[in-house]
Structure 1
Amino acid sequence: MKLSPLHDRVIIQRLPEEEKTAGGIIIPDSAKERPMRGTVVAAGPGTDKVKMQVKKGDVVLFAKYAGTEFKMDGEECVIMRQEEILAVIEK
């Protein structure tokens, strides 16, 4: 399936959270938090007032409950406005 977001919206595919803590303890599924990092899959063209600052392939940080969740090709994705993205994670 191919989706093209409109205006200043962005489609983000959530990145999986760590399975272990830094100390080596395995985190059970019931204790895992929702991932707050993801990769931009598609970005809209922006508007006259909003210039797009993220592009396809950027890894971003966003609020835990931001956007609207949906499944695309079996993967958990989120669609949100660019303003809901908190930061771009630099490599």
Structure 2
Amino acid sequence: MLKPLEDRVVIAVKDEAEQTVGGIVIASNAKQKPQTGKVVAVGAGAMTSDGQRIPLDVKENDEVIYDKYAGSEVEYEGQQYLVLHAKDIIAIIE
């Protein structure tokens, strides 16, 4: 499994539907980039200058919304993930 460092978070990106309610199939290059996903791993938190860890607000299994163009896309064991800084997560879906 991927283990993020410091204040980074690994997110399993939610697949968006490729077909509309009316049955129209959307080309992959016309779809908007998804902004929601499930947190699968979190880092230990950023380190302050005096050596203290700043804990993250998210935890594993949280459903989150993140900035549209944040993070780096990674493929690991056939699964697509997004690795981003915790500051790029804008909300937790409850």
User: Given the two structures, how large is their TM-score scaled by the length of structure 2?
Assistant: 0.81
1:52-88 CA-partner distances (Å, limit 9, x unpaired): 1101101110111101111011111111110111111
1:53-68 aligned within 5 A: 53-68=57-72
What is the aligned-residue identity percentage? 42
Q: Which runs of 4+ in 1 moved over 6 A?
A: none
3-state SS of 1:38 partner:
strand
1:33-55 CA-partner distances (Å, limit 9, x unpaired): 11111110100111335221101
Distance apart, 1:21 and its partner CA: 3.8
Max Rg structure = 2
User: Given the two structures, how large is their TM-score scaled by the length of structure 1?
Assistant: 0.83
> Closer, same or farther in 2 for the Cα pair 1:82/1:22, shift >3 Å?
same
3-state SS of 1:77 partner:
strand
Opposite residue 29 of structure 1, the aligned amino acid is: S
- Corresponding residue pairs, total: 89
**Structure 1 residues without counterparts, runs of 5 or longer:** none
Contact 2:9–2:42 (CA under 8 A) maintained in structure 1: yes
2:44: which partner in 1? 45
Opposite residue 77 of structure 1, the aligned amino acid is: Y
C-alpha RMSD of the superposition: 1.7
> Which has a greater percent of strand?
2
